[in-house]
Amino acid sequence: QVQLVESGGGLVQAGGSLRLSCAASRSIFLINTMGWYRQAPGKQRELVAAATRRGITNYADSVKGRFTISRDNAKNTVYLQMNSLNPEDTAVYYCNTNPPLHYWGQGTQVTVSS
């Protein structure tokens, strides 16, 4: 099991930006795909972005063009740069493998005000 600790969330106005970080307790070099997920109140957790160890990325349609996922295997860290945020992006954000194979961390709350 890998322990995952998310950080970087906060309160931001619509149109603003945030950068989330996910620190893993051990090397992610051999993990093929890492992903960022989010769960809004009353909704199921959804995958919003994923990155393979070879740098291939995929995004949910709702965030395409606004969010960028990246991974620094040397630092065992995965990032999510979020730009042009809107209130619909309000959620708790988590990272995990894709598919999710490890215990979920606490997540980091992102709140976007209109």
Per-residue pLDDT of 80-96, as tens digits, reads 999 999 999 999 999 99
Q: Is the pLDDT of residue 13 over 90?
A: yes
pLDDT over 70, % of the chain: 100
Kindly tell me the sign of the dihedral angle through the C-alpha atoms of 34, 40, 44, 46: negative
Q: Where are the beta strands (DSSP E) in 40-101?
A: 46-52, 57-59, 67-72, 77-82, 91-97
pLDDT for the residue numbered 1: 83
